[in-house]
Amino acid sequence: MTITSNIPEISQPTDTLSTPKTDQEFNWRNCWYPVTFIQDLPTKHPYGFSLYDEPLVLFKNNDGKLICLTDLCPHRAAKLSDGQIIDGKIECLYHGWQFGSGGECLHIPQLPAEAKIPAKARVKSFIVAEKQGIVWMWPGEVNVADEKLIPTVADLDNPKVVSSDYMLDLPYDQTYFIENAIDPSHLYISHEATLNSRQQAQPLQMEVLETSAQGITGRYRKTRQQNENWMQLNFVAPNLITYRSSTASEKSKRLGGAALYSLPTGKGKCRIIIRNYSNFPNWKRKWQPRWMEHLYRDQFLEEDLPLVVGQQAEVQRLGKSLSSLYLPLKTSDLLVIEYRKWLDKYGECLPFYLGYNTKSLPDQENLPVNQEPPALDRFSRHTQICSSCSRAHKTAIRFKQIFVGMAIALAAVAIMTEDFTVKLLLVAVALCSVGLAVVAEKFKIRFERSYTRH
């Protein structure tokens, strides 16, 4: 599935879905789910993740092909993601059982050489694909898996388009993220600290153009001035929100947008995979280190993080339908309510969902016994799953250690030196090293602690 833009600008609003309509059926398993950016996928050890609380693991075989298996060793239920990759096979570190590309067990150290490996010694495998720099997995029927159904964004295939990629784990359900992402009106208030946009808060003209099992086609525009351009805003089921704007002039055509993917990792948690892009020159987007852009994205997404966490907690505490709790406005919430109603109509097949009038949520006792509360700190939610920020964080730690070591060594030499001038110089350099260590510590902390409002 490729999200294209073959509709006239402004007079017609939004991208169209190239996938033909079906009989208005939605099957969450027969969909592609984004896992991580290829550049953030480790190559030397397994990569664990989950889909609706089902643990899964990725690794590469000897041919460099990505393999996805259930993250569970059939021997004694240890996690394969805690293991290692040996000669293109994934090995459970508990007893050394090794599994191949199809989930079959290929080696059991404890079996005699002449003994056959038990037929039940295998784990389920899933189809994996790489597209537009993202790793995708298909949890459904193998015979209907089609890479053409991957919800790619056509703009990103344009060589003139430059994108910035960002990934984050969030401590709330995917539906709350999609609700938040499909709500442009909150940007001007919740993100005042980074956008400085409170003065832009205003009624929006919003339209729902089409709703089907494939998603929602919509658009919106500001109303303060006449002839404002439309912004195309779509929900592509089950895990993509797209924003797109474009302007045409005699000299050039400028376009920009955002693709906001999400992975429902489990109850009360999800992963978001975001791509912001444009075709007009932007030196920051082209040359700025990825980790520097991510520090801004971290703060931006943390500005309303506690608000959505609190919203989810209150909805759960009250136990009422959203239709009885929400007081929506057509000039800000039209697409939000349309999405929740979409869940009413098509969400019944999901492992759990929260629609506008209906819901199906798992009982607490049915959740995985090893489920931990989602983390709120920046390090757990982003830094450790981002290759760029993880390297920057480790570099900061290394420099802090170097500067602290230099300060101690210089101070020791200064104590033993009798020449007053040399002693003074050594002390001065030692103090500079201490200052640099403090700077490195503050830099390190930026990759660990979340933004808090003052």
pLDDT at 305: 94
252: exposed, middle or buried (Cβ count in 10 Å: 0-12, 13-18, 19+): exposed
Token pair in block for residue 107: 């080696």
Q: What is the pLDDT of residue 5?
A: 45
User: Tens of pLDDT along the chain (454 residues)?
Assistant: 776 543 333 333 333 333 334 446 899 999 999 999 999 999 889 999 999 999 999 999 999 999 999 999 999 999 999 999 999 999 999 999 999 999 999 999 999 988 999 999 999 999 999 999 999 999 999 999 999 999 999 999 988 888 899 999 999 999 999 999 999 999 999 999 899 889 999 999 999 999 999 999 999 999 998 888 899 999 999 999 999 987 755 456 888 899 999 999 999 999 999 999 988 866 666 678 999 999 999 999 999 999 999 999 999 999 999 999 999 999 999 999 999 999 999 999 999 999 999 998 876 555 454 555 566 799 999 999 999 999 999 999 999 999 999 999 999 999 999 888 999 999 999 999 999 999 999 999 999 999 988 7
**pLDDT score of 373:** 57
Q: Are strands 47-51 and 54-60 parallel, antiparallel or unpaired?
A: antiparallel
| Topology of the domain comprising 2-29+151-376 | Naphthalene 1,2-dioxygenase Alpha Subunit; Chain A, domain 1 (3.90.380)
Longest dimension (CA), the chain: 90
Tokens found for residue 263: 């992975």
Rg of the chain over Cα atoms, rounded to whole angstroms, equals 26
Residues 219, 12: Cα–Cα separation, whole Å: 9
Structural contact between residues 162 and 277, judged by C-beta atoms closer than 8 angstroms: yes
Q: One-letter amino acid identity for 130? A: E
Report pLDDT for 9.
Answer: 36
The architecture in CATH of the region 33-131+137-141 reads 3-layer Sandwich (2.102)
Determine the pLDDT at residue 121. 94
What per-residue confidence (pLDDT) applies to 69?
Answer: 98
Question: From CA 272, how far away is CA 274, in angstroms rounded?
Answer: 6
Query: Would you state the pLDDT for residue 359?
Result: 93
User: According to the model, what pLDDT value does residue 370 have?
Assistant: 52
Domain layout of the chain by residue ranges: 2-29+151-376, 33-131+137-141, 389-445
The DSSP annotation for 212-275 comes to: ETTEEEEEEEE-SSTTPPPEEEEEETTTEEEEEEEEE-SS-EEEEEEEEEEEEEETTEEEEEEE
* Total residues found in the chain within this entry: 454
Amino acid of residue 63: D
